[in-house]
């Protein structure tokens, strides 16, 4: 099929990615990802609150041990206090396990939803999107970007709730013990928050650069280590250059990772030192405000102070992680927000596939590729009655493949319409259209699976007998049977286990299994030698029996028996008729046939 002739360079792609990262991501939109799991989130929140409240008993139990049980040598009280300490530790640990289980489950379900939503949305994108987007870039968004969000999605929300609850509970307990020492402890918070915001912004920028570089690395792997890429590098001697390119990209990625790990470390280290110095300040404060201050109170307060700074530090780190992850969310939401250019209609026409005849009408159709000022097809009208054959011929770039792409609705016309049995293609569900119209093109794509799985891919319910009947009709059954593993033979990456003609016949068998009423053959034999072409043509004859067939070919010998031949030039029909009529007319077709 013809594709969008314009393809952006690596630099323009990177620029677009940079613009995407600049978009602000709404935290409300991120929170909506958790909406289907609101009850699980509520349970986790409740567990966090209970765990934090229970944990606050420990400092008070410790104060009672130091101020009451030990000085009075009250062994009974001491035993109960120790049992209480162990019980608090046991309860909080058990609640932590349950909390982790629920929160991780929710996080993984959110990740699963994101992955499937992005994949499903990309499946609905037009061919034009994939011609202008690097395959490695798409893979990187689905795997690396979503994978990079895992810690944020699975633990950030619960970590924030846990640390916030613990901080509030600890603050209340500290106030209950000594409001003067509490004020001294909180002096460190303003500079810590300011430093954390600076670190968060640094890490967000680095994260965006990391993901772009990782996407470039994936593109290099995809382009270089596919079967086509390996054959190209071996035959052109470009292997060392590819290794150098990969090495440079990997080195940049390693540098970014180092920068990400070190970003703000000195600032955070300074904050940690201040946190560590606070106990000394508290002891000084105890000396300045000795009234009512017992040793037990001082020890309990010091323990609470350490317990306060841990959740505060955790909250600050969560803020850094969340801000950094916004770059990842921006890349994912960019794909989810892509408009669907060719989609199912809002009110589709229901069709009975057994009643479809296959009358194809192309009515004054005009189409231009995005970004092009010249129409690839202009004002084309054709009538292909059910069961007849139409051949489209013309020089390269004349619009043949574009017209075929419009018939299969890989694109929608800018003007005019295409109908099957009087139904506009845009009024049909895409799944219904795929059952009605079958395509065999020059570039046959086979999955890296067995022959049987490749054939059954288009019709999962097909029996082995139906698969073998289709292979016989495509004149490939005997070859498959002669292989050591028969239909269980792996075809290899992109089908390179088989020759071009063999891949074509497997594709024909695959199409026969679908049994479409309209068949589009897009230069399906142009790359084959004469002997192989003859075998494939016989399979095509069997495939086209009783179907409406639209054939695109450079070799006019393959279309001379068509019911009608249309000659295209610069997107317009310049001649139309049978082979003999066009030859006798001595026009453009006769020139092509000469």
SS3 sequence, 220-255? HHHHHHCHHHHHHHHHHCCHHHHHHHHHHHHHHHHH
Residue 243's pLDDT band (boundaries 50, 70, 90)? confident
- List Cα–Cα distances, 427 to 209, 404, 413, 419, 539, in angstroms: 43, 18, 13, 9, 32
Instruction: Give the residue-averaged pLDDT of 435-457.
Output: 84
Predicted pLDDT of residue 333: 86
- Between residues 513 and 227, the one the model is more confident about: 513
Question: pLDDT tens for residues 57-110?
Answer: 777 787 788 878 888 888 888 888 888 889 988 888 888 888 888 888 888 888
Q: Of 13-27, 456-470, 554-568, where does the model show the most confidence?
A: 456-470
Predicted pLDDT of residue 23: 44
Distance CA 219, CA 217 (A): 5
Q: Per-residue pLDDT for 10 more than 50?
A: no
Q: Per-residue pLDDT for 237 more than 60?
A: yes
Percent of the chain with pLDDT over 90: 9
Instruction: Give the residue-averaged pLDDT of 358-381.
Output: 90
- Between residues 428 and 522, the one the model is more confident about: 428
Predicted pLDDT of residue 309: 64
CA 586 to chain centre: 54
Long-range own/partner contacts, residues 380-384 (CB < 8 A, 24 or more apart): 380/416, 380/568, 380/571, 380/572, 380/573, 381/416, 381/573, 382/566, 382/573, 382/576, 384/359, 384/360, 384/548, 384/550, 384/564
Q: Per-residue pLDDT for 166 more than 80?
A: no
- Between residues 230 and 554, the one the model is more confident about: 554
Provide the edge-to-edge strand list for the sheet that holds 548-552: 437-441, 518-522, 548-552, 389-393, 564-569, 572-577
Residue 572's pLDDT band (boundaries 50, 70, 90)? very high
Instruction: Give the residue-averaged pLDDT of 287-315.
Output: 66
- Between residues 388 and 156, the one the model is more confident about: 388
- The architecture of the domain spanning 27-336 is Up-down Bundle (1.20)
Distance CA 338, CA 327 (A): 17
Of 54-58, 191-195, 376-380, 383-387, minimum mean pLDDT range: 191-195
Neighbour count for residue 494 (Cβ, 10 Å)? 16
- Between residues 503 and 203, the one the model is more confident about: 503
Predicted pLDDT of residue 526: 57
Predicted pLDDT of residue 19: 43
Query: Residue 577 belongs to what H/E stretch?
Result: strand 572-577
| CATH no., domain 353-593 | 3.40.50.300
Predicted pLDDT of residue 424: 93
Predicted pLDDT of residue 359: 92
- Between residues 77 and 271, the one the model is more confident about: 77
Predicted pLDDT of residue 9: 38
Question: pLDDT tens for residues 483-539?
Answer: 888 899 888 776 677 877 788 888 888 888 888 889 888 766 655 566 666 766 676
Domain 27-336 shares a fold with domain 353-593: no
Instruction: Give the residue-averaged pLDDT of 226-230.
Output: 60
Residue 199's pLDDT band (boundaries 50, 70, 90)? low
Domain ranges in the chain are 27-336, 353-593
Q: Of 69-83, 156-170, 248-262, where does the model show the most confidence?
A: 69-83
Instruction: Give the residue-averaged pLDDT of 201-229.
Output: 68
Residue 317's pLDDT band (boundaries 50, 70, 90)? low
Q: Which residues contact 370 (CB under 8 A, 6 or more apart)?
A: 4, 128
Percent of the chain with pLDDT over 70: 70
Q: Per-residue pLDDT for 331 more than 60?
A: yes
Phi, psi of 339 (to 5 degrees): -70, 145
Q: Of 170-174, 231-235, 307-311, 588-592, where does the model show the most confidence?
A: 588-592
Q: Per-residue pLDDT for 425 more than 70?
A: yes
């Amino acid at each position: 099929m013809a594709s969008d002739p314009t393809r952006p360079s690596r630099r323009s792609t990177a620029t677009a990615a940079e613009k995407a990262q600049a978009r602000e991501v709404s935290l409300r939109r991120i929170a909506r990802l958790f909406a289907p799991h609101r009850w699980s989130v509520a349970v986790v929140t409740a567990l966090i609150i209970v765990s934090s409240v229970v944990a606050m008993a420990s400092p008070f139990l410790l104060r009672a041990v130091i101020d009451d049980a030990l000085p009075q040598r009250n062994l009974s009280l001491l035993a109960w206090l120790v049992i209480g300490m162990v019980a608090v530790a046991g309860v909080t640990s058990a609640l932590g396990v349950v909390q982790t289980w629920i929160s991780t489950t929710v996080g993984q379900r959110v990740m699963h939803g994101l992955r499937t939503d992005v994949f499903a949305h990309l499946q609905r994108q037009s061919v034009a999107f994939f011609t202008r987007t690097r395959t490695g870039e798409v893979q990187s968004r689905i795997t690396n970007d979503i994978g990079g969000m895992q810690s944020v999605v699975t633990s950030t929300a619960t970590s924030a709730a846990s640390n916030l609850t613990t901080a509030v509970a600890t603050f209340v307990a500290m106030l209950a013990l000594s409001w003067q020492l509490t004020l001294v402890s909180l002096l460190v918070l303003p500079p810590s928050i300011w430093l954390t915001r600076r670190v968060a912004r640094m890490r967000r920028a680095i994260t965006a650069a990391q993901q772009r570089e990782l996407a470039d690395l994936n593109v290099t792997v995809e382009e270089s280590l596919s079967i086509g890429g390996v054959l190209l590098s071996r035959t052109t001697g470009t292997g060392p250059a590819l290794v150098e390119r990969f090495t440079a990209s990997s080195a940049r990625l390693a540098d970014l990772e180092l920068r990400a790990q070190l970003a703000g470390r000195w600032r955070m280290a300074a904050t940690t030192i201040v946190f560590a110095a606070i106990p000394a300040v508290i002891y000084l404060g105890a000396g300045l405000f000795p009234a009512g201050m017992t040793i037990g109170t001082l020890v309990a307060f010091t323990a609470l102070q350490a317990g306060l700074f841990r959740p505060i530090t955790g909250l600050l780190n969560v803020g850094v992680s969340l801000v950094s992850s916004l770059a990842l969310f921006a890349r994912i939401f960019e794909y989810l927000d892509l408009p669907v250019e060719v989609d199912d209609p809002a009110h589709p026409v229901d069709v009975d596939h057994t009643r479809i005849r296959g009358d194809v009408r192309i009515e004054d159709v005009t189409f231009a590729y995005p970004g092009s000022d010249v129409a690839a097809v202009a004002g084309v009208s054709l009538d292909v009655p059910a069961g007849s054959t139409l051949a489209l011929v013309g020089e390269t770039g004349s619009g043949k493949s574009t017209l075929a792409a419009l018939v299969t609705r890989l694109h929608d016309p800018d003007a005019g319409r295409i109908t099957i049995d009087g139904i506009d293609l845009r009024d049909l569900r895409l799944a219904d259209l795929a059952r009605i119209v079958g395509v065999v093109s020059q570039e046959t794509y086979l999955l890296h699976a067995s022959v049987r799985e490749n054939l059954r891919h288009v019709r999962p319910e097909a029996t082995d007998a139906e698969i073998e009947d289709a292979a016989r009709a495509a004149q490939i059954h005997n070859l498959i049977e002669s292989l050591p593993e028969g239909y269980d033979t792996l075809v290899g990456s992109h089908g390179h286990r088989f020759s071009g003609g063999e891949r074509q016949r497997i594709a024909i068998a695959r199409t026969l299994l679908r049994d479409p009423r309209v068949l589009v053959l897009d230069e399906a034999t142009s790359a084959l030698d004469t002997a192989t072409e003859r075998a494939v043509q016989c399979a095509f004859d069997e495939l086209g029996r009783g179907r409406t067939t639209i054939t695109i070919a450079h070799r006019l010998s393959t279309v001379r028996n068509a019911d009608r031949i249309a000659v295209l030039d610069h997107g317009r029909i310049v001649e139309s008729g049978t082979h003999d009529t066009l030859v006798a007319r001595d026009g453009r077709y006769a020139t092509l046939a000469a």
